[in-house]
Structure formats: C-alpha cells, structure tokens
Amino acid sequence: MAILLDGKKTANDLNEITRNRILKLKQRGIVPGLAVVIVGEDQASQRYVRNKHKLALKLGVNSIIKAVPATVTENQLLNLIAELNHDQTIQAILVQDPLPTRLNEQKIMQSISPEKDVDGFTTTNVGKLYLNHSGNYPVACTPKGIMTLLQQYNISLRGKKAVVIGRSAIVGKPMAALLVNAGASVSILHRYTNDITEYTQDADIVISATGVLRLLDSEAIKSGAVIVDVGQNLDENGHLVGDVDFETVRQKAAAITPVPGGVGPMTIATLMQQTVDLTEWGATNDE
C-alpha cells in the first residue's frame, strides 16, 4: 500500500513558515503585496482567485484583486500591468488563466516585471530555471510545490528515472526542468507519444498533468514507483479525481498524491511562499 503524499498537511506547514516570515517583514515595516488580475466571469477562475485572496489575507499579505471585464482591450490590460509593475506596494503580480482568446496571452504575461513575476512565467525567469541559475528567481508554483512535497517525504530524485506526462508551460516543462536540475533522467510525454506505458512502466517517478480521467492504472506503472497526480477531473458521480486510477495504483506504488488534497494545496501555498520570496529579495536589493 502506497504512502499518501499529504499535500494538505505539507501546505499547512509551509503556510505557517510563510506567516512567520511575514511577521518578521512587518517588524521591519514591510508588507508583502500580491495583485491578482482576473479577466471576465469564468466561474472556476473566480473561485481560484477567491481562495488565493482568502489565504493571502489570512497569512498577512496585502492582497488585491483587479477584476476587469472580458471586453477589456489588450492595451488596457497592458496598461494595468504596467501600473502594478511601478506600484511599490505590490511585490508579486499574477494574471489568472484563462484569458479571452482574442488577447495575446504570451504578450500579456511577458509584460509582468520579472522581479514581480510570482508565477515564474516570464522568459527571464524560465531561462534561469532551464539554466539552473544559482541566483534568486521565482518558479512555476505547481512544479515548485511538487518538489517541496517530494522533499518533505525524503523522496530522492538523483539518478532516478522520471516521466512527466504533459508539456504545458505551467506544469510539464518547468516540472521537467526542476527534475533534471535535481539529478533525475527525465522523459516528457504528450499527445503525440505513441505508447506512454513504454515509459511509465520503467519510471521511478511519474508525474501526470493531463486532465485525462483514468489515464494511468496499475498496469501502467512499475511496483514501487512514486506517483504525483496533478490532474483534476470529475468522475461519473461528479467527484473530483485526478488522472490516476487511485484505488488500483495505490496498491502497487510506493507513494502517491491523493486528489483532492495532494498537489492543489501545495500550489497555492507555494504562491504565498514566492510572494514573500519576491518581497524579501526586493527588500535586500533596496538596502
């Protein structure tokens, strides 16, 4: 039976560390500021933003939500981000996905100052990640949260065979880079991979981020593998589940993340962690 990688508990522990860091900053007269820009009325996006805002306030972050209508023009949105880039009370900026398809998402994301890019999506910060830069820079929150969770459970990555299913800029690609930087040998699988089991059955670590219900069953993994499920799907009964057939895979794996309660809480906790990181790095540079 697999060990459950409890993201909820690990996130709570991380949030407590973040709260204490914020208290120390406030003693110096510094309050971390997070601005979340949300475009339109997407219900899932609004729910995510509310959850982020609620936790930020609970931890002591100055959290503001910039809600703009779906009719916003690209220039208006770029001007809003420019204002936030120059706002000295804001250390972290996040633009919530998805954006209306008529907007150039890449252009908008790249307009965020790298020093305030809490999601780690700008080319500057992505480049530092891929080069394994030794300095301070933010990394995509979900992959970084996964790395924190694996570290919490003392799961070694050096010399291991790892598979990442999904090649998005938000999860798959930065996840692969972090694993490579940690000493793992990594394969990235995607929709054009002919047979994913050719890779997953030989992998020590499998990270699935596809949103495909029951993509992996027990036959798709080897005994003793570590399984990280980033997927979020609804099953036939309307219950939130991941990409992995949890009940069968947990019998064979060494460790596995549940859905919910695995990767999700780590993502938002990492967002708060990196908001404080950016604040501390900026304060050090100003001294």
Task: Pick the catalytic residue from 6, 119, 243, 245.
Answer: 119
Task: Specify whether 9 is catalytic.
Answer: no
Task: Pick the catalytic residue from 6, 52, 229, 252.
Answer: 52
Q: Is 50 helix (H, G, I), strand (E, B) or coil?
A: helix
Task: Specify whether 66 is catalytic.
Answer: no
Task: Specify whether 201 is catalytic.
Answer: no
Looking at the DSSP assignment, which residues form a beta bridge with residue 67?
38
CA distances to 67, 145, 196, 209 from 53, rounded to whole Å, are 13, 18, 38, 25
Task: Pick the catalytic residue from 6, 91, 96, 117.
Answer: 96
Buried-exposed string 121-143: b where 16+ CB fall within 10 A, e elsewhere: bbeebbebbeeeeeeebbbbbbb
Q: Residue 161: which residues within 8 A CB-CB, separation 6 or more?
A: 184, 185, 187, 202, 203, 204, 205
Q: What does the alpha-carbon distance between residue 9 and residue 153 come to, in Å, rounded to a whole number? A: 12
Q: Record the tokens describing residue 269, joined without a space.
A: 């906790």
Known catalytic residues are 52, 96, 119
